Amino acid sequence: MSKELGQSLRSYEEVRDEILEHIENLPKERVSLRAAQGRVLRQSVVCMDTIPPFDASAMDGYAIRAQDIEAASDDNPIVLKVSTTIPAGDSRELEIAEGQAARIMTGAPVPQGADLVVPHELTRFTDTEVIFNQSLPQGKNIRPRGGDMRPGLVVLQEGYILGGPQVAVAATVGETKLEVSRRPRVAILSPGKELVEPDCEPGQGQIRNSNAYCLAAFVTQAGGIADVRGIIDDTPEALREEIRLSIEQGADLLLSTGGVSAGDFDHVHRVITQDGNPGNVYKTDMRPGKPQAFGLLQNVPFMGMPGNPAAAIVSFIHFVRPMLRKMLGVAPFVPPPFSVRFTEDYTYKGGRVFMLRGLVEPAKIEDGGGFIFTGAGDQDSGFLASMALANAVIRLPADQSVAQAGQSFPAWWIHDS
């Protein structure tokens, strides 16, 4: 075990849980079905209707009485008279008598008296007659009235993320407005004298601001509204002014990258500890992503994330994504990991929990299924290219330095909500 663990590093999970205690659910708002896609439901939806509202045909075919063809076989074809054709949407109150068949379309109401729909491919027919060579059980190919939903059934529950099927259910029961969590407005601050915007040619000693755009993408995917505030000079005054403006303009969460270490120009940790209530700087046990800072500034949560691009991404995955999920009311707010298996030994730097960025792929079922690690690029916390090739962050233990073939470890998708 490395020396570092003996020092005052704290478990990142413990730090995360401590920070998350300060995060609250955002208020709700009512939106239309079209706007509800991807939002988090904050009400339950109860069906007030009977769905389907009538016995409906599940096939194009013939609605008949099952009894009438009970004796049908190749040797004993049974002929019924076609009394009518029933399209979907037909509003007539129809009935069929013994010995009759109604030509019927999928979704059309099954006429009174009929208790079976025989698909037309199982019949031979003319305009006036239909011939059956086999029997079928009662009720076949009929969707019974109320078979899907009945009055009083809770069809959607608080906390659901609204995708196509959930919106469809709401539409079916006639709920055209839904209460969802307000989207968190997330101000993204980029302190750093060395930074220029991506459309600029960096001068001597300068680099382009990439973190802000990375975070904006992550925030948007998690359901937030990203407010990229631009580059801030490396002074406490400039930082305080930008924080003040962001809060004034309605930020629910403030994020910054860089300036959380102990360097001469690392003002984020100073501002958070001086102005925050509470306001803390943490040295966590993960690599990359050791330094993290968190505070409430005028009651608005502020996460001071590390500046190195890979560390900022790891910080987003483990701290900020859970915060956004908690604000939105997604359960569980800490996304559970999935398991990744190594098929070859992989050597890494031990001593701290290693957040390996790598490419993970589904294993073939015949190879045991699940997900396997297939490779990783450069793990320098300041390097980005390998981060763009990776799809997961895998947690390797501090007390090992080789992930051995056959071992499995927890992992999180980089691209997730």
Residues that bind ligand AMP (CB under 6 A): 190, 192, 194-195, 207, 209-212, 257-261, 263, 266, 307-309, 382
Nearer to ligand AMP, 111 or 304 (CB): 304
Amino acid at 341: R
- Residue of 202, 182, 252, 222 whose CA lies nearest to 31: 182
Nearer to ligand AMP, 182 or 269 (CB): 269
Q: Quick one: what does residue 379 bind among ligand AMP, Mg ion, none, with the CB cut-off 5 to 8 Å set by partner type?
A: none
Tell me the residue number closest to Mg ion, measured at CB: 258
Residues 169-208 that bind Mg ion (CB under 5 A): 192
Nearer to ligand AMP, 309 or 350 (CB): 309
| Interatomic CA distance for residues 355 and 240, integer angstroms | 32
| Interatomic CA distance for residues 389 and 134, integer angstroms | 59
Number of residues forming the site for Mg ion (CB under 5 A): 3
Largest CA distance in the chain: 96
- SS3 category, 12: helix
Tell me the residue number closest to ligand AMP, measured at CB: 307
Minimum separation from the CB atom of position 387 to ligand AMP (A): 12
| Sequence-distant (≥ 6) Cβ neighbours of residue 350 within 8 angstroms | 2, 397, 398, 399, 400, 401
Minimum separation from the CB atom of position 198 to ligand AMP (A): 10
> Is residue 258 part of the contact set for Mg ion (CB under 5 A)?
yes
**Residue with the two structure tokens 């300036």:** 259
DSSP assignment of 172-193 equals: HTT--EEEEEPPPEEEEEEE-T
Span from 63-71, 201-209, 255-263, 276-284 in contact with Mg ion (CB under 5 A): 255-263
Nearer to ligand AMP, 130 or 384 (CB): 384
Contact indicator for 243, 297 with CB cutoff of 8 Å: yes
> What are the helix and strand counts (H, E) for the chain?
10, 28
**Residue with the two structure tokens 């076609």:** 82
Minimum separation from the CB atom of position 106 to ligand AMP (A): 56
Nearer to ligand AMP, 141 or 292 (CB): 292
The total of other beta-carbon atoms located within 10 Å of residue 377's CB is: 16
Q: Quick one: what does residue 165 bind among ligand AMP, Mg ion, none, with the CB cut-off 5 to 8 Å set by partner type?
A: none
Q: Quick one: what does residue 166 bind among ligand AMP, Mg ion, none, with the CB cut-off 5 to 8 Å set by partner type?
A: none
Count CA atoms within 13 Å of residue 408 on its CB side: 12
Nearer to ligand AMP, 21 or 264 (CB): 264
Residues contributing to the site for Mg ion (CB under 5 A): 192, 258-259
